[in-house]
């Protein structure tokens, strides 16, 4: 192995170990019961996240690229496949909370077996398999964020409102008046840079888009501004809402962000119930709510190309993001990467010339390009180093159990 190849392999191995260790650390405070509960069909048990990310490596790296490797338990792929039709039948997503066995300890043991096999195999893997290891690291980082948001959803179902961890007192921070800064107009290039670092297939190919004169807000919408939106009847004015959003609001009885108390003064967090910090970015709002707020504020949501071009020179490593296993919460004073993912007004659709990755992993993004909206940036639960300006997170417009918030834009 050439020195540069060896250094690259060692770097990949270090990232793999760090990622796998962080997932275990995130689950460490949980009991077997905590880790088995599924709070709603869109969320998954913490134990399932630990198992599914292990299934990914065992299936696409060890099974497919290590001669003679035997599955740890050939019954478990049925339980822990998520949506890969190319891998056959699987357990129904809404019933993941019924998987009482294997236990949390058995899943941890499985992870140790797979990690040991990956360590042994890594120096001998072909480039195609190493690319799958890199994809698996990014995939597991996504599940680390989901693990935290799903724990919060799980604990929110408990009348005792337990805390996952502790968070220090809110800083004293005055909210800066909202300012809009002009973005570039004309022909710009977006998408993952060619030949650069890792990017998902949906971030490619890089291509030109035409931007019209516009401006983007210098910060996200705060809890205090959202309290004003509520006080002025924003949830009760159908003129502010998309028709589908209004129907959703009425059917679900939506009157405030998820986890807020009825008095709009406190919120359930990973650290238990806390007073709402008026200066912090609002979180846990849907696309429907974000769009209604933007209309109330006399603005709109940015389209994803505006957001990406505006923040392409921002450092995605800076901001309130996940560095270690701990409770997280959006804080005031962050940048474009961190605190909350930001809804855009753009549907999650393929770029011109898009081609999904080859093989079953090609199901990762492309087949979801219908009925979803793009979010940009990162959140307080996103592992640091996972996001970038070209990153295209996506959720359906009613989703709000993630750390999703709002950055405004307007036409110039």
Average pLDDT over residues 272-284: 97
pLDDT digits (tens, 9 = 90+) for 223-260: 999 999 999 999 999 999 999 999 999 999 999 999 99
Domain count, the chain: 2
Domain assignment of residue 262, yes or no: yes
pLDDT digits (tens, 9 = 90+) for 336-376: 999 999 999 999 999 999 999 888 888 888 899 999 999 99
φ, ψ of residue 95 in degrees (nearest 5): -110, 20
CATH number reported for the structural domain that contains residue 80 in this entry: 1.20.120
The residue segments making up the domain with residue 141 are 3-156
- From the list 47, 209, 61, the residue with the least C-alpha distance to 132 is 61
- From the list 191, 153, 201, 147, the residue with the least C-alpha distance to 368 is 201
Tell me whether residue 393 is exposed, middle or buried, using C-beta atoms within 10 angstroms of its C-beta: 0 to 12, 13 to 18, 19 or more: buried
Spatial separation of the C-alpha atoms in residues 379 and 403, rounded to whole Å: 6
Task: Please give the full DSSP string across 299-317, using - where no structure is assigned.
Answer: -BPPPHHHHHHHTTTS-TT
The pLDDT value recorded for residue 358 is: 86
Q: Is the pLDDT of residue 401 over 60?
A: yes
Instruction: Tell me what percent of the residues of the chain surpass a pLDDT of 90.
Output: 91
The pLDDT value recorded for residue 2 is: 47
**Strand duo 404-405 + 341-347: pairing:** parallel
Spatial separation of the C-alpha atoms in residues 251 and 355, rounded to whole Å: 38
Domain assignment of residue 166, yes or no: no
Average pLDDT over residues 118-144: 96
CATH number reported for the structural domain that contains residue 256 in this entry: 3.90.1580.10
Kindly state whether residues 140 and 11 are assigned to the same domain. Answer: yes
pLDDT digits (tens, 9 = 90+) for 190-227: 999 988 789 999 999 999 999 999 999 999 999 999 99
Q: Is the pLDDT of residue 91 over 70?
A: yes
CA distances from residue 76 to 32, 61, 108, 112, 250 in whole angstroms, order as listed? 18, 16, 14, 16, 41
Average pLDDT over residues 159-181: 90
CB-CB neighbours of 367 under 10 Å:
12
- From the list 204, 211, 220, 212, the residue with the least C-alpha distance to 392 is 204
The pLDDT value recorded for residue 357 is: 87
Kindly state whether residues 239 and 141 are assigned to the same domain. Answer: no
Kindly state whether residues 143 and 233 are assigned to the same domain. Answer: no
Spatial separation of the C-alpha atoms in residues 166 and 170, rounded to whole Å: 12
Q: What is the torsional sign of CA 303, 309, 312, 314?
A: negative
Kindly state whether residues 129 and 217 are assigned to the same domain. Answer: no
Q: Is the pLDDT of residue 5 over 60?
A: no
What is the pTM (predicted TM-score) of this model? 0.95
């Amino acid at each position: 192995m050439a020195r540069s190849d060896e250094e690259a392999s060692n770097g990949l191995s270090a990232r793999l170990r760090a990622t796998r260790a962080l997932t275990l650390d995130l689950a460490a405070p949980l009991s077997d019961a905590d880790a088995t509960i599924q709070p709603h069909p869109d969320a998954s048990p913490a134990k399932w996240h630990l198992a599914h990310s292990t299934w990914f490596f065992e299936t696409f790296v060890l099974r497919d690229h290590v001669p003679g490797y035997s599955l740890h338990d050939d019954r478990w792929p049925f339980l822990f496949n998520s949506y890969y039709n190319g891998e056959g039948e699987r357990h129904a997503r809404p019933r993941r909370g019924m998987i009482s066995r294997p236990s949390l300890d058995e899943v941890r043991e499985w992870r140790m077996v797979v990690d040991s096999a990956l360590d042994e195999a890594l120096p001998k893997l072909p480039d195609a398999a190493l690319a799958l290891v890199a994809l698996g690291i990014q995939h597991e980082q996504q599940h680390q964020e989901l693990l935290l948001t799903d724990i919060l959803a799980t604990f929110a179902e408990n009348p005792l409102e337990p805390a996952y961890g502790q968070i220090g007192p809110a800083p004293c921070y005055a909210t800066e008046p909202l300012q809009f800064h002009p973005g570039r107009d004309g022909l710009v290039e977006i998408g993952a840079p060619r030949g650069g670092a890792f990017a998902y297939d949906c971030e490619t190919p890089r291509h030109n888009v035409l931007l019209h004169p516009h401006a983007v807000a210098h910060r996200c919408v705060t809890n205090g501004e959202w309290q004003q939106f509520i006080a002025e009847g924003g949830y009760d004015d159908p003129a502010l809402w998309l028709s589908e959003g209004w129907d959703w609001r009425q059917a679900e009885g939506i009157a405030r962000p998820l986890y807020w108390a009825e008095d709009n003064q406190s919120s359930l967090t990973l650290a238990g119930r806390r007073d709402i910090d008026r200066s912090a970015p609002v979180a846990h709002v849907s696309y429907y709510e974000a769009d209604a707020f933007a209309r109330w504020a006399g603005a709109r949501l940015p389209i994803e190309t505006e957001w990406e071009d505006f923040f392409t020179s921002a450092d995605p490593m800076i901001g309130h993001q996940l560095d270690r296993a701990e409770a997280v919460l959006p804080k005031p004073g962050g940048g474009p990467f961190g605190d909350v993912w930001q809804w855009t007004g753009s549907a999650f659709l393929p770029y011109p010339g898009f081609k999904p990755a080859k093989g079953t992993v090609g199901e990762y993004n492309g087949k979801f390009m219908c009925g979803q909206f793009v979010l940009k940036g990162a959140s307080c639960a996103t592992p640091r180093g996972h996001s970038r300006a070209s990153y295209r997170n996506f959720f359906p417009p009613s989703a709000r159990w993630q750390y999703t918030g709002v950055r405004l834009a307007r036409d110039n």
